[in-house]
Structure 1
Amino acid sequence: MIVKENDTHPVEFKANADLTGATVRLTARTRTGEPIDLPCSVVDASEGLVQHILTGALPKGTYRVELETTNGGEIITFPNSGYATLTVAEDLD
């Protein structure tokens, strides 16, 4: 997913699971940076859709993103293999 610097709109990530009753944590990280917890909420539990609202605060760069779900004491991280990618590109103005 590619967004621009200073964007302030919702972005969605999908877990390949039903998230009914689950708590979720969305984490982003550049290859050399510290993890950043991104506030998120489940917008469609049965479809596994989670939403983060961009605040314009993420600096430009490419982030690896993962979604950690906890349900009934079981922790599952999505994607199960590799990472989702969020690129914040330079805004021209």
Structure 2
Amino acid sequence: MIVKENDTHPVEFKANADLTGATVRLTARTRTGEPIDLPCSIVDAGEGLVQHVLTGELPVGTYRVELETTISGAVVTFPNKGYATLTVDRDLD
């Protein structure tokens, strides 16, 4: 997923699981940086959709992103292999 710096809109991430009754945590990290917790909420539990609303404050860069879910006490991280990618590109102005 690619967004521009200063964007302030929702972005969605999908877990390949039903998230009914789950709690979720969305974490982003550059290859050399500290993890950043991104506030998120489940928007469609049955489809496994989680939404984060961009605040325009995420620095330009490429982030590896993972969604950690807790369902009935079991922690499952999505994607199961590798990471999702969020790229924040520089705005032209």
How big is the alpha-carbon RMSD for the aligned residues of Structure 1 and Structure 2?
Answer: 0.3
Q: Figure out how many residues of one structure are paired with residues of the other and give that number.
A: 93
Identity of aligned residues (%): 86
Equivalent residue number for residue 82 of structure 1: 82
**Structure 1 regions of 5+ residues with no counterpart?**
none
Counterpart AA for 1:86: L
Query: What displacement does 1:71 show?
Result: 1.1
For structure 2, the residue ranges without an aligned partner over 5 or more in a row are none
Give the partner amino acid of 2:67.
L
Structure 1 Cα separation of the partners of residues 12 and 67 of structure 2: 11
Match of 1:66 in 2: 66
Give the partner amino acid of 2:92: L
Q: Paired residue for 1:51?
A: 51
In the alignment, the residues of structure 1 paired with residue 63 and residue 5 of structure 2 have an alpha-carbon distance, to the nearest angstrom, of 13
Q: State the shift of 1:3 in Å.
A: 0.1
User: Which whole-Å CA distance do the structure 2 matches of 1:82 and 1:57 have between them?
Assistant: 25
**AA in 1 matched with 2:69:** T
Q: Which amino acid aligns with 1:27?
A: T
Shift of 1:25: 0.1
Equivalent-residue separation in structure 2 for 1:31 and 1:17 (angstroms): 27
